[in-house]
Amino acid sequence: MSENVIDNDNVVKSNNFIHQIIEEEISTGKNNGRVHTRFPPEPNGYLHIGHAKSICLNFGTAQKYNGLTNLRFDDTNPSKEDTEYVDSIMEDVRWLGFDWDNRLYYASDYFDQLFGFAVKLIKEGKAYIDDQDAETISAQKGTPTRPGTESPYRNRTVEENLDLFMRMKAGEFNEGERVLRGKIDMTSPNMHMRDPILYRIMKTSHHRTGDKWCIYPMYDFAHGQCDYWEGITHSICTLEFEVHRPLYDWFIDQLKDSEYRPRQIEFSRLNLNYTVMSKRKLLELVKDGHVNGWDDPRMPTICGLRRRGYTPESVRNFAERVGVTKTDGVTDVALLEYSIREDLNKRAQRVMGVLNPLKMVITNYPEGQVEEMDAINNPEDETMGIRKVPFTRELYIEQDDFMENPPKKFFRLSPGIEVRLRYAYFVTCTNVIKDANGEIIEIHCTYDPASRGGNSPDGRKVKSTIHWVSATENIEAEVRLYDRLFSDEEPDGHKDVDFKEFMNKDSLQILPKCYIEPFVKDAKALDHFQFERLGYFNVDPDTTPEKLVFNRTVQLKDTWAKVQCK
RNA sequence: UGACCUAUGGUGUAAUUGGCAACACGUCUGAUUUUGGUUCAGAAGAGUCCAGGUUCGAGCCCUGGUAGGUCAACCA
């Protein structure tokens, strides 16, 4: 990678600013040189490519410094969370290739300790019960430019606070009637320090603790403490938590009883052009049926990318290439596409498939004859060997590979022109058959028997090699072509226009009847292929024994398409 | 009238902590090619947000601006 510096000892060093901080700390012996990170999703939705960046950062950083990474579910708000999400998150992290070993935690594991810590703060006069409603408290908080004012309940006695807190826990009050607040500083320039709410009443059963609790800690009151109790050294999160850091540190100060101290470090979240990344918007796309679920191959979710045909390696490489900084920017999806092409080019089984069939009849080829042609499985990897492809008198070729009146730089088949059928023969177009409307329905060719395998003994050249599939010896398949979901580079970047206005109406194109060479007949869900000259495709899980379904992961680079545009 | 953060080719990042602004994607040439793919060779493209200052020397340090982001859920 670009940030890799190969020094004289030939050691590859990747250094983002977080790694630099860590190396500095290791050299000064902070936390005894220990590195322990965590990936802390809230189980309220599916993970997306932005989370993948965070996962790679957290797990990758720990790996680099011989440290550990915990998986921790930040489940402090039972009204939004569900085990459905817990399961999908674990699956996605594993799929990416990371392992939390036996270190699976939940913020809810710490509810008792958190409660105890709250009691301690109350006893020390650092927290109090506020009886006001949300609106009043909010109004008293002031604004970023105007200081807040103190709650009339701020100076209750410890005894009264303790009594009220116990009664909150016992369920004596209704939701919204009481909250526990930290007693910090209502005039702080940082809004988060203005007596933040620590606990609120929620009479909702929790997906793990059931009805044991009716008061739940807020994010700020849970996250740093969980870090502390787990021995986390580097609490890596996204930029919007920057202003929470003083509060994070304040709680750590109240907790700390040794030299050990976790440190929150913020980095900028990933943005991709032509896509939206917020959970809320992705949920909207799913709920309103704009896509077919969280794992729709057009979605930037990890499960969507997986179904689309992305590999864990490609996603990890992408994350590495994007880098880690504090500057917010927008990454070009072209980089993501490059990452998957790069990976699949080396690994994908090649196969011939015709998406938009045009029948070709080789008039001088014996009827009923079937020849087995040798085809290379992957030119990038000789060990993958060769396979046989059946060749017959009637074939399908791609509609785009024939033009009756070709423009200047069109190298493919047209009347009177000779091309190579890949791994088979040279053929020359002799006739074009049209229907009553003048539509081309079939083309006739003659072949040169001497060119078997694709080379003529007389050494003559052709300008083009096209792919083909036997019209009789093939597998029919449905192929789903995907394009970007949005036609605008930044669909959620317009103040007055809803992001859905920019949805690309042609983001999904279904080709119900394509022809693929017989090799794919036993392909299993998620298997990758390169359809030669077209792109990378994988088998969609919708595939049944009766019907094979492919997704186009990404097209091959297409310089001809560029030429045409000019 | 606030606090905090950020600013380097079209895009994402780097610059050994003060020493000729580098890499990748993208773009454009050319070569090779039984994939208009891959690979290979090469090119264009920034003088580092602006203005001062320190210095032999500043993307890095100092001063002052400008622009953008974040913060006013009993969300995370």
pLDDT of amino acid A564:
87
Angstrom distance (rounded) from CA A475 to CA A473: 7
Q: Is the model's pLDDT at A40 over the cut of 60? A: yes
Going by C-alpha positions, the residue among A316, A240, A230 that lies closest to residue A277 is: A240
Residue tagged 């935690």 (tokens):
A105
Chain-centre distance for alpha carbon A300: 5
Structure tokens at A405: 């009146």
Q: Give the list of residues 6+ apart from residue A290 with CB closer than 8 angstroms, or none.
A: A284, A500, A503
Structure tokens at A167: 């009664």
> One of A64, A126, A203, A269 is an active-site residue; which one?
A269
What is the 3-class SS of A456-490, one letter each residue?
CCCCCCCCCEECEEECCCCEEEEEEEECCCECCCC
**A231-245 mean pLDDT:** 97
User: Gap from A514 CA to B33 C1', in Å?
Assistant: 28
Instruction: State how beta strands A357-362 and A394-398 pair.
Output: antiparallel
pLDDT (tens digit per residue) in A265-320: 999 999 999 999 999 999 999 999 999 999 999 999 999 999 999 999 999 999 99
pLDDT (tens digit per residue) in A369-424: 999 999 999 999 999 999 999 999 999 999 999 999 999 999 999 999 999 999 99
pLDDT of amino acid A10:
35
Structure confidence at residue A5 as a pLDDT band (50, 70, 90) = very low
Q: How far is CA A419 from CA A170, A375, A425, A433, A445, in A?
A: 82, 17, 9, 19, 10
Q: What is the pTM of this model?
A: 0.95
pLDDT of amino acid A64:
96
Q: Which residue is nearest to nucleotide B25 (CA to C1')?
A: A335
Instruction: State how beta strands A465-466 and A4-6 pair.
Output: unpaired
Residue tagged 């920019």 (tokens):
A502
pLDDT of amino acid A15:
83
> One of A23, A30, A34, A42 is an active-site residue; which one?
A42
User: Gap from A403 CA to B30 C1', in Å?
Assistant: 28
Structure tokens at A36: 């322990």
Angstrom distance (rounded) from CA A17 to CA A423: 51
**Which nucleotides of strand B lie under 7 Å from a protein CB?**
1-8, 10-15, 17, 22-28, 34-39, 69-76
pLDDT of amino acid A304:
98
User: Gap from A18 CA to B45 C1', in Å?
Assistant: 30
User: Gap from A2 CA to B57 C1', in Å?
Assistant: 27
Q: Which helix (H) or strand (E) holds A521?
A: none
**A56-60 mean pLDDT:** 98
Angstrom distance (rounded) from CA A443 to CA A440: 8
pLDDT of amino acid A181:
98
Q: Which helix (H) or strand (E) holds A20?
A: helix A17-28
pLDDT of amino acid A2:
31
Helix (H, G, I), strand (E, B) or coil at A370: coil
pLDDT (tens digit per residue) in A311-353: 999 999 999 999 999 999 999 999 999 999 999 999 999 999 9
8-state DSSP, A193? G
pLDDT (tens digit per residue) in A487-498: 999 999 888 899
Structure confidence at residue A565 as a pLDDT band (50, 70, 90) = confident
Structure tokens at A134: 């949300």
A53 an active-site residue? Answer: no
Q: Which helix (H) or strand (E) holds A92?
A: helix A83-95
Structure tokens at A30: 């902070």
Q: A532 and A467 in contact (C-beta within 8 Å)? A: yes
pLDDT of amino acid A445:
98
pLDDT of amino acid A8:
34
User: Gap from A144 CA to B62 C1', in Å?
Assistant: 30
User: Gap from A325 CA to B53 C1', in Å?
Assistant: 29
A308 an active-site residue? Answer: no
Structure tokens at A90: 């674990």
Q: A499 and A456 in contact (C-beta within 8 Å)? A: no
In this structure, the dihedral spanned by the alpha carbons of residues A346, A94, A13 and A232, taken in order and rounded to 10 degrees, is 170
Structure confidence at residue A226 as a pLDDT band (50, 70, 90) = very high
pLDDT of amino acid A73:
98
User: Gap from A338 CA to B25 C1', in Å?
Assistant: 8
Angstrom distance (rounded) from CA A384 to CA A141: 67
> One of A72, A279, A393, A480 is an active-site residue; which one?
A279
Q: Which residue is nearest to nucleotide B70 (CA to C1')?
A: A240
Give strand letter and number of the nucleotide nearest A403 (CA to C1').
B36
8-state DSSP, A402? B
pLDDT (tens digit per residue) in A449-495: 999 999 999 999 999 999 999 999 999 999 999 999 999 999 998 88
Give strand letter and number of the nucleotide nearest A560 (CA to C1').
B36
User: Gap from A333 CA to B34 C1', in Å?
Assistant: 32
**A68-90 mean pLDDT:** 97
Going by C-alpha positions, the residue among A230, A260, A268, A211 that lies closest to residue A73 is: A230
Structure tokens at A394: 């009637």
- Within 10 angstroms of residue A560's Cβ, the number of other Cβ atoms is 15
Going by C-alpha positions, the residue among A376, A380, A337, A562 that lies closest to residue A467 is: A376
Angstrom distance (rounded) from CA A289 to CA A286: 5
pLDDT of amino acid A13:
44
Q: Which residue is nearest to nucleotide B69 (CA to C1')?
A: A328
pLDDT (tens digit per residue) in A541-563: 999 999 999 999 999 999 999 98
Give strand letter and number of the nucleotide nearest A336 (CA to C1').
B25
Q: A70 and A102 in contact (C-beta within 8 Å)? A: no
Going by C-alpha positions, the residue among A222, A327, A312 that lies closest to residue A266 is: A327
Q: Which residue is nearest to nucleotide B7 (CA to C1')?
A: A327
Structure confidence at residue A249 as a pLDDT band (50, 70, 90) = very high
A269 an active-site residue? Answer: yes
User: Gap from A265 CA to B63 C1', in Å?
Assistant: 29
